[in-house]
Amino acid sequence: MKKIKKTGLVFFPAFDWAISPTHPEREERLLYTQDQVFEEGLLDFENIIEYKPGLATYEDINRIHISVPDAEKVTTQSHLISAGGAITAAEKVMEKNVDNAFALVRPPGHHAMRVVHGARGFCNINIEAIMIEYIRRKYGPKRIAVVDTDCHHGDGTEDIFWHDPHTLYISVHQDGRTLYPGTGFPREFGGPNAYGCNINIPLPPGTSEEGFLFTLDNVILPILKDYNPDIIINSAGQDNHYTDPITNMNFTAQGYAILSERLSPHIAVLEGGYSVETALPYINVGIILAMAGLDYSQVREPDYDPALIKQKPETTKYIEELASALMKKWESRNDEKNKLPRSGQFESRTKSIYYDTDNIHEEQTESVRLCNDCSGLVTVDSRATTGNRIFAVIVPGQSCPVCRKRGEEIFASKSKSLYDYIYFQDRDCDVYECRKR
């Protein structure tokens, strides 16, 4: 007998919103999911409670993003509702109204990075990141793990939490050499102050249930056990499914349900998944049943045939080797971290970012202060083909006095002549300022 759990469901299919009429992110996306969830009568279960999404505020967005020129300009109501839906799910869990919650909302968010000049990978704002910062603001500092099971590398979430040792980001996805956004390799292991807090598990095309569950049991769950987070969040993308039109994996509805049961996230948030008719209805029913501790053994796709999606032996071998290499890297993370310099100096990286949805290029230099006492002050100098150049100072949560003071000095001293906008984001004091040219 499974343990019955009280599960919150924030369901918002946004039946009147699309990126464009034939875009994968269109009105029809959750239509058949709604049909299946309603027909199964899931909302009549005493332990499954539906909640209406709240609306995220621009303040919620400003705690995590540097939006150019501002949060209002880079979002529509649909984004405020999907971020608001994630926040509602989190609130119901944090207030102990439910044991866990699933925000079955759209549009998704995991490709949205810290700086937002426009939309990329169907995402404008990072709804999980906004939710996480909301949790910390309202309920105090928390150790949080995000397990991203979308088929695409969540490069936005990786970017936002790159320097944050209080957030462990694990992404399992189709190898970036074969799929958008082309990142997400094991060498991306977290910034110098958060080394080992960013784990990428790139799986080869054709990975089936076997490979995903092996990775879960042999990499994700052991790492989570070591990290010991207060809260586990699942970025529950569903595009690993064998029928997804824009990816090449062989995962199943049963597989997603088993994964949800074993991972046992406090909060799950829908990300991608574009096989709207043959996959999503079954995956979502499976995830909801699994989260609620109900029997999901009869959930399967109409065309399910294990023989057709059997994993090749060489894929299995590749995944086993990858897993053992990743675990070695994880186990030696503290030794490696200790070898990094701790000088109080700044370390920089430069990035070229392409916004495919909006066709914008961005060049960015991001610097972090190497700090033994906190996550480290971050500054960003960014220029986009929109013509905007901005500078941002980010004082992290639980910051040390030195990083804070340096941040305030840098913000005060930046000349307006070079930049269109200069931002100051202070997570401890919940301050967000913007100076315009």
Partner 1 sequence: MILGIDVGGTHTDAVLIDGNRVVEKVKVVTDRIDLSRSLLKVTDKALHETNPEDLERVVLSTTISTNAIVQNLTSPVGMILASGPGLSPSALRINENCHFVSGYVNHRGIPVAPIDKGTVQKTGMLFKTSGIDHIGIVGKFSCRNPDIETDIEDALGFTFSHCSLGHRMSGNLNFPRRIATTYLNASISDIYGDFITMVTAFAGRFKASFPIFILKADGGTFEINQSARYPVQTILSGPAASIMGILSLAEFTTDAVALDIGGTTTDIAIFADGSPLLEPLGVTIAGHKTLIRGLRTRSIGIGGDSAAEFVNGEYIIGPERKGPAAAFGGPCPTPTDAMVVLGLTEIGDKEKALAAIGTIAQKAGHTAGKAAETIFDETCRKIARAVIGMVEEVNNEPVYTIHELLEGKRIKPERLYAVGGPAEPMAPAIGSILGYSVNIPDHAEVANAVGAALARTTTELTVLADTEKMIATIVEEGLQLSISPKFSKADAIGICKEKLRERALSMGAAEEDLELEIIEEHVFNMVRGYSKVGQNIRIKGQVKPGLISRCMKSAPAR
Point out which residues bind Zn ion (CB under 5 A): 150-152, 237, 239, 272, 371, 373-374, 400, 403
Rounded Cα distance, 273 and 249, in Å: 12
The distance of closest approach from Cβ of residue 386 to Zn ion in the complex, given in angstroms and rounded to an integer, is 25
Structure tokens at 277: 């008719």
Least distance to Zn ion from the beta carbon of 129, Å?
16
Q: Of 111, 117, 173, 241, which is the active-site residue?
A: 111
> CB 178 → Zn ion: shortest distance, Å?
13
> Please, which residue, 292 or 353, has the CB nearer to partner 1?
292
Binding site for partner 1 (CB under 8 A): 11-17, 21-22, 26-28, 31-32, 34-36, 38-41, 44, 50-53, 77-78, 81, 245, 277, 281-282, 285, 289, 294-295, 297-302
From the list partner 1, Zn ion, none, pick the one residue 332 interacts with, judged by a Cβ distance below 5 to 8 Å according to partner type: none
Give which of 422, 432, 427, 372 is closest to 404, Cα–Cα: 427
**What three-state secondary structure class fits 201?**
strand
3-state SS class at 218: helix
Residue 152's binding partner among Zn ion, partner 1, none (Cβ under 5 to 8 angstroms by kind) is Zn ion
Among residues 405 and 437, whose Cβ is nearest to Zn ion? 405
Peptide bond into 205 cis (omega under 30): no
Q: Smallest distance from the beta carbon of 151 to Zn ion, in angstroms?
A: 5
Q: Which is nearer to Zn ion, 7 or 207 (CB)?
A: 207
Minimum CB separation from Zn ion for residue 245, in Å?
12
| Whether 111 is catalytic | yes
> To which H or E segment does residue 425 belong?
strand 421-426
Contact 128, 56 (CB under 8 A): no
Closest residue by beta carbon to Zn ion: 272
Chosen from Zn ion, partner 1, none, partner binding at 282 (C-beta under 5 to 8 Å by type): partner 1
* Residue 3: exposure state from Cβ atoms within 10 A (0-12, 13-18, ≥19): exposed
Q: Which helix (H) or strand (E) holds 314?
A: helix 313-331
Using omega within 30 degrees of 0 as the cis cutoff, is the peptide bond preceding 53 cis?
Answer: no
Phi, psi (5° rounding) for residue 341?
Answer: -65, 150
Q: Which strand ranges, in their side-by-side order, compose the sheet holding 48-51?
A: 48-51, 7-12, 100-105, 267-270, 231-236, 144-148, 167-174, 198-203
Of the pair 50, 59, the CB lying nearest partner 1 is at: 50
By beta-carbon proximity to partner 1, the closer residue of 34 and 218 is: 34
Residues assigned a catalytic role: 111
